[in-house]
Structure 1
Amino acid sequence: MKRTHLPLNGLRVLDAAARHLSFTRAADELAVTPAAVGQQIRALEETLGVVLFRRTTKGLELTPEGEAGLAALRHGFLQFEEAVRAMQAGQSSKSLTIAAPRDLMHKWLMPRLAEIARNDGELRFVLVPADDDLDFTEANLDLAVRWGEGPGEHEGEALESDGMITVERPGGGVDTRISWPGCLNDPEVSLVRVGDAGLAIDAAAEGLGRATVPELLVRADLAAGRVVAIGEPRPYRFGYWLVAPLPQWRQKKVRALVDALTA
């Protein structure tokens, strides 16, 4: 069934004017001018086809038509307020759904989320693999991590990194290039090809060759001695970005997580 278009601004003005029986006091409450209140009431009367107020020697009074709908109107505004509170309750929720590439999730994100959760036992995370076409609404996402030159169409903040770095097994492996989708190596001349940068790091750690991977992704493996760096990191135009559409990005729980992940 098609819903009737509701003149919500006019109805809000009607409620205030009816409570005060004064356009001036209603205007003070609504932070507008008395003239604006009068215009809204006249527009509402035209829309509804009834007279809502009349002026008498005693001042402003409601007509029977105006009086007839007030109880239902005020109940409706209470319902609106309840609906808004229910929607805003998610702001205080401690559950966040995050999408990220699988290799970043395993190598970097999960250890950090575990550390963050140790400081707040109420936090709950739902982790889903990210694809190239992030649909925040369909997946009910709060935050995502993408690999690229910027946040794209969303709001975003870059994860700090030194770019790309080449690694191999400690003690040296074979002089073979390990390639992965998006790597700097030419996959046509690579003898070892894997599905992502995380697998490239693991392949290098096993001695299958040398992998050039995001420095951010391999930090933990370098620190643990699983692989060693060959040369210094090189700047690269691509990087990892925390991203979300503006409504999600403004949520307090999302901002707190972004701050923790980028600290």
Structure 2
Amino acid sequence: MKRTHLPLNGLRVLDAAARHLSFTRAADELAVTPAAVGQQVRALEDTLGVVLFRRTTKGLELTPEGEAGLAALREGFLQFEEAVRAMQAGQSSKSLTIAAPRDLTEKWLLPRLAEIARTDGELRFVLVSADDAPDFTEANLDLAVRWGEGPGAHEGEAIESEGMVTVERPGGGANAKIAWPGCTPDDASALVRVGDAGLALDAAAEGLGQATVPELLATRDIAAGRLAVVGEPRPSRFGYWLVAPLPQWRQKKVQALVEALGV
């Protein structure tokens, strides 16, 4: 019989009924009615073309045909259980693979992961750079961070932020603007053009001008006195989101990390 045609529900009922030699007790174990057990057994007998049980004055007993396949059946169910345990092992794993933009990893994620790791010495992190939309089909990712207006096609939670903030070197720097992809000012008015917001922060700290960046990335540099804020933060429809497809998002270790990151 082909694997795709195996009557797994009927075989599960056969195993329970053979152990108890009682449709009633098998039904209690399987949380169904005795009638449902009887129907499953009869359907399995029709499928296999053999009689599996016989009623006697002493009660229910297995036929030789039923007895012949029982050991292999139970070994098969043990293998199923082992397969399920192997697949669920990742739930208890202390290793998480996270994809995030390089600048967010440096300015925000790494310091928080360091704090989290100090609370649990068994945690292990694999960090992957992902400036574009993370591709969960191509990488063994547990969680990703994306910049956008929402979680996109995945489940997710927004990372709290004040929006965008303009910063410069304390005491003022060059009277110019620093540009990075996706941010104003346009390239024509910028003294320096860099590849991402993290480099824009570094350029501002060196006195090359003012950079308008996500407030989330600038917080530590501002607190350390490396950068000074110009004006007030401005709301933005864009932001950083922790995202994952639903199966990954439901993992306990992923939800624990999301909570620990404080979003």
Q: Same fold (TM over 0.5)?
A: yes
Q: Report the equivalent of 1:37.
A: 37
The alignment's C-alpha RMSD in Å is: 1.7
AA at the equivalent of 2:224: A
Give SS of 1:67's match. helix
Counterparts of 2:36 and 2:184, CA distance in 1: 63
Give SS of 2:178's match. strand
1:73 aligns with 2:109: no
Counterparts of 2:25 and 2:4, CA distance in 1: 30
1:204 aligns with 2:194: no
Q: Report the equivalent of 1:189.
A: 189
AA at the equivalent of 2:218: V
Q: Report the equivalent of 1:112.
A: 112
For residue 189 of structure 1, report the CA deviation from its aligned partner.
Answer: 3.3
1:57 aligns with 2:22: no
Cα–Cα, structure 1 residues 68 and 194, in superposed 2: closer, same or farther, change >3 Å? same
Counterparts of 1:3 and 1:13, CA distance in 2: 18
Q: Could you tell me the TM-score, scaled by structure 2's length? A: 0.93
Q: Give the stretch that moved more between structures: 249-258 or 183-192.
A: 183-192
Matches within 5 A, 1:238-253: 238-253=238-253
Aligned length: 262
AA at the equivalent of 1:126: V
Give SS of 2:138's match. helix
For residue 144 of structure 1, report the CA deviation from its aligned partner.
Answer: 0.9
Give SS of 2:174's match. coil
Q: Report the equivalent of 1:152.
A: 152
Q: Give the stretch that moved more between structures: 189-198 or 179-188.
A: 179-188
AA at the equivalent of 1:148: G
Counterparts of 1:44 and 1:134, CA distance in 2: 47
AA at the equivalent of 2:96: L
Counterparts of 2:212 and 2:184, CA distance in 1: 7
AA at the equivalent of 1:197: A
Q: Report the equivalent of 2:96.
A: 96
For residue 194 of structure 1, report the CA deviation from its aligned partner.
Answer: 0.8
Give SS of 1:44's match. helix
AA at the equivalent of 1:46: D
Contact 2:55 2:61 in 1 (8 A): yes
Identity %: 85
Deviations 1:123-142 (A, max 9, x none): 11111101424222431111
Deviations 1:9-48 (A, max 9, x none): 1111110111112211111101111222122222222322
For residue 4 of structure 1, report the CA deviation from its aligned partner.
Answer: 4.8
Deviations 1:102-122 (A, max 9, x none): 000011111111111112111
Counterparts of 2:125 and 2:167, CA distance in 1: 31
Q: Report the equivalent of 1:237.
A: 237
Counterparts of 1:95 and 1:134, CA distance in 2: 19
Give SS of 1:98's match. strand
Counterparts of 1:32 and 1:167, CA distance in 2: 67
Counterparts of 1:179 and 1:97, CA distance in 2: 31
Q: Give the stretch that moved more between structures: 119-128 or 131-140.
A: 131-140
Counterparts of 1:79 and 1:44, CA distance in 2: 21
Counterparts of 2:33 and 2:154, CA distance in 1: 38
Q: Report the equivalent of 1:177.
A: 177
For residue 8 of structure 1, report the CA deviation from its aligned partner.
Answer: 1.6
Deviations 1:215-246 (A, max 9, x none): 00110111111111111111111111111122
For residue 56 of structure 1, report the CA deviation from its aligned partner.
Answer: 2.9
Unaligned runs of 5+ in 2: none
Counterparts of 1:43 and 1:178, CA distance in 2: 74
Contact 2:133 2:146 in 1 (8 A): no
Contact 2:191 2:208 in 1 (8 A): no
Cα–Cα, structure 1 residues 40 and 185, in superposed 2: closer, same or farther, change >3 Å? farther
Unaligned runs of 5+ in 1: none
